[in-house]
Amino acid sequence: MGLIKAAMGSIGGALGDQWLDAFEAYEMSDTTVFTKGVLVHSGDRSSNKKGTEDVVSDGSVIHVYPNQFMMLVDGGRIVDYTAEEGYYKVDNQGAPSLFNGQFGDALKDVWERFKFGGTPSYSQKVYFVNLQEIKGIKFGTPTALNYFDNFYNSELFLRAHGTYSIKVTNPILFYKEAIPKNDDRVDINDINAQYLSEFLSAFQSAINKMSVDNIRISHVASKSMELSKYMANELDADWNKLRGFEVLSVGIASISYDEDSKKLIEMRNQGAMLSDPTVREGYVQGSIARGFEAAGKNENGSAQTFMGMGMGMSSAGNFMGTMSETNRAQMQQQAAAAPATAAGANAWKCACGAESTGNFCPACGAKKPVANTWKCACGSENNGNFCPMCGAKKPTGWKCPDCGQENKGKFCSNCGHKHED
């Protein structure tokens, strides 16, 4: 009751010519998670055949493709399995082979729980689990989710739509706990109702954690990688332990806000803009200009309208003037701060102790020191490669005052004296 791995050379790509029965997985799409094995007829190996010829007899050969987990099943119980691609011959007289492949010893504990303990009935069937990433599982929040945004200091509400993907991590557990009994082919969308409900519950928790981590609500859509990690923390422990699969990635296609949230965000953004005095002053002057423009278009007579505007502005003039004066004061403060900052960046301290921003010290008249200067043997201070007084070339090294060693680095290579210049 086991599998014998057949040598590739003995198969030669023509299963039907060398073996009585040869089985492969039935059509497996990107969303197929489970399917039965079907008989491949001699001379017609290129197409799988539907029908009742799916009972695996002793001596049959089973072809397992990459990213497939194959199980030999008898009466719902697993007789043997393999997680390794290749060709396998069914041997009902042998012991289970248990080819664990990429899963190592992780499957052995599950096998002990679900293994078949009786004599084979010779009505065995072969099934395959898709080990590829199952992509494009759609989700959408049926109601708005609350999200406290620290930037807006408000409880906001959002809706999200997107897709997520899963990957089977324990195919034996997945077969026993997630696959409906007596189903020969299962698409992820056939069994997704319960898991989608659990996914959305975990999605709410993940959204709340993003809020706690101070991620702005407008940045949620661009945080797919972070969201996948949040979801993995929320779901993977349970889904791995109970059903043998995990969330691999989450992609958000769109984020939308409810009407109250939109108004709060718009109000906060307007407030942020109006905190700039130049924007406020532009708004004030624009309001006045729009008033004059509207007055000129008044069909009842622009003169009368301008007269009314004058009376109105007379009463509101003090308010408008105060606003403009406040704006100008703040703009002047900002303008004064900018040169001061620039001046601070260019300041230097003279040897006499005075601070200066020009090329000469205002206290003693000393010239601003030039970076990378050097003193020639003739006594001239220079910053070029040659002395303008005697023409001597700028020295490339220095002589240690302690031992006389010629050096180019910061420390003497002979005695370790540090060069101070």
Q: State residue 407's pLDDT score.
A: 75
Question: What would the mean pLDDT of 206-233 be, rounded to a whole number?
Answer: 85
pLDDT digits (tens, 9 = 90+) for 360-412: 777 777 777 765 666 777 777 777 777 777 777 777 777 777 777 777 777 77
Q: Assess contact for 403 and 382: CB atoms under 8 A.
A: no
- Is 60 exceeded by the pLDDT of residue 106? no
Kindly report, residue by residue over 221-230, the tens digit of the pLDDT: 888 788 888 8
Whether pTM > 0.95 for this model: the answer is no
In the chain the domains, ranked by start, together with CATH numbers, are 2-130 (no CATH), 134-262 (3.30.479.30), 373-421 (no CATH)
Q: How many CB atoms lie within 10 A of CB 7?
A: 8
Nearest to 131 by CA among 65, 68, 192: 68
Compute the average pLDDT of residues 79-87.
Answer: 88
Maximum Cα–Cα distance for the chain, whole Å? 110
Which residues, at least 6 apart from 92, have a Cβ–Cβ distance to it below 8 Å? 1, 2, 58, 120, 122
Higher model confidence: residue 218 or residue 47?
218
Question: What SS3 class is residue 169?
Answer: coil
H or E element, residue 252: strand 245-257
The more confident residue out of 405 and 97 is: 405
Element (H, E) at 18: helix 15-18
pLDDT one-digit tens code per residue, 150-205: 888 888 889 999 999 999 999 999 999 999 988 899 999 999 998 999 999 888 88
- Say whether pLDDT at 351 is over 70: yes
